[in-house]
Structure 1
Amino acid sequence: MIGPSPRVELCLTDNPENDEAVWRECRPRPAQLGFRDRLTGFFWNARWNETLYLTNCAERFVQGQEEHASREIRRRLRSDLLRAEGEGGGGDIPAFFRFRLVFVSRDDDSLRRDVAFVSPPYQTVDPLDR
């Protein structure tokens, strides 16, 4: 039997007290890959390797390695946010972000999503965590 699959989700906010978060999946898989993308992925796919590392960190987190796993997830999410901002990703980036770990499993004919952890708000720009 295959165990639950971890997902890392993210929400952005300018107010750290805001509890009405809109969550989105971090690094969602593309709906389709062209032949060229698939062929290139066989030889070099650093982005996918880092996404797998995020998944591994989520698994380690629930196994009790909270400090290291949380720090690694934060660093990579912050890097993604700052990279998107630098690429003209839609204007000002919110001041805070939160992440949560969601485990997806099959329940008969449907998918079940269990939230295992919700982080406190973190500053999007934190010079000490780079």
Structure 2
Amino acid sequence: MLPLLNLLLPALIPSWRFFKSVDPSPRVEWAMLAAATGVAAQWHEFRARPQYLTPWAMACRMLWNPRWNETLFVVSCAERLTLTPSSHSQQEILRRISAELERTLPPGACLPYLQFRLVFTDRNEDGRLVKAVTYQSDPFLIAGMASA
């Protein structure tokens, strides 16, 4: 019985030492381009975290938050893309960004090409935030924009 309890206890009461190390995760930023050969003028963070949440919103998010689960999936794809680049991770990130843009931007606001990059944010020895771009995709034609 004791060996069974030793196996079950860590699952019921997680330890703060669950992970061997905690490393920063890449942030996904996107930009829209008018042409495939264009240069991004402005980068936007994909699903930036809110500055403030009410206690009610936090409680609701603990019970039901499919959007955050999808954001965590994008972060895991970004981590995989940083370590071992694959077209699957790249396509999943592009698919999620383009769906979000289609849902949130007004009609006619989209440019035909979408590009994303992965950025790590860290503090230098002076304590200032420093951004390091670790991956930048090629521009991709957004689905449905080929005829526009």
> What TM-score does the superposition give when structure 2 sets the normalisation length?
0.75
User: Are 2:32 and 1:12 aligned?
Assistant: yes
CA–CA distance in structure 2, aligned partners of residues 13 and 76 of structure 1: 17
Do the aligned residues in 1 keep the contact of 2:33 with 2:39 (CA within 8 Å)?
no
User: Structure 1 residues 4 and 39 mapped into 2: Cα distance closer, same or farther (>3 Å)?
Assistant: closer
Match of 2:142 among 120, 124, 127: 124
Structure-2 residue corresponding to 1:96 = 113
Specify every segment of 5 or more residues in structure 2 that has no aligned partner in the other structure, as ranges: 1-20
Letter in 1 for 2:92: E
Aligned length: 124
Alignment of 1:1-130 (within 5 A): 2-85=22-105, 89=106, 91-108=108-125, 109-125=127-143
Do the aligned residues in 2 keep the contact of 1:3 with 1:105 (CA within 8 Å)?
no
Specify every segment of 5 or more residues in structure 1 that has no aligned partner in the other structure, as ranges: none
Percent of aligned positions with the same letter in both sequences? Answer: 35
User: Structure 1 residues 67 and 20 mapped into 2: Cα distance closer, same or farther (>3 Å)?
Assistant: closer
Do the aligned residues in 2 keep the contact of 1:81 with 1:124 (CA within 8 Å)?
no
Runs ≥4 in structure 1, deviation > 6 angstroms?
none
Q: How big is the alpha-carbon RMSD for the aligned residues of Structure 1 and Structure 2?
A: 1.9
Question: Which structure has more strand as a fraction of its residues?
Answer: 1
